[in-house]
Homo-oligomer: A and B are copies of this chain.
Amino acid sequence: MGIADELIENNAAYAATFEPEPQGAPSRQVAIVACMDARLDPLPVLGLEVGQAHVIRNAGGIVSNDALRSLVISQRKLGTREVVIVQHTACGMMTITDEGFVEELREDVGEAPSWAPGAFGDLEQSVRDSVERVRSDPFLVDTAHVRGLIFDVQTGAVREVV
């Protein structure tokens, strides 16, 4: 059966007490880029509420091309002006290498993917690299206000890298 039917059922209780947001644009003009990790729930971690921020998430919380696409749309079409990147301790992306994972796919599937896996060995450097990708992007409106944080999955605390 799977979980999807259960999730759709769950939604009825959510909708029963739902109050719509007055606007689509994030009221605090901030976009969060965070890892997809199940332990990391960006809004409560940062004390944000629904309606206040865009949330972009992928494996690693890296500023990929697709994250840049989303950020450019966020800034140019929906008025955000700050970026906060949240990567985290014990990330699965530190347990693989790009070469190893591509080789695994090649052996199993018979071809390599069009994307690079985005693995990293040094968490702080990965955060710095992602901050730099925001800073150097020519299509963003505001590249000055970007911060890079690491969320500790054991303590729930964030600390700033850059």
Contacts and interface: CB of A to CB of B under 8 A. Distances in A.
Interface of A: 2-4, 6-15, 18, 20-21, 24-31, 36-39, 41, 43-48, 50-59, 64-70, 72-74, 76-78, 81-82, 84, 90, 92-93, 95-96, 101, 104-105, 109, 111, 113-118, 138-139, 145, 147, 149, 153-158, 160
Contact of A66 (B8, B20, B66): B66
Give 10 nearest A-B pairs by CB, closest first: A10-B47, A18-B156, A66-B66, A59-B70, A7-B46, A15-B157, A15-B156, A26-B38, A4-B147, A69-B115
A124 B115 CA distance: 27
Within the oligomer, what is the number of copies of this chain? Answer: 2
A20 B151 CA distance: 12
A73 B92 contact: yes
B113 A72 contact: yes
Contacts of A139: 105, 109, 113
Which of A66, A95, A138, A156 has most chain B Cβ within 10 Å?
A66
A11 B72 contact: no
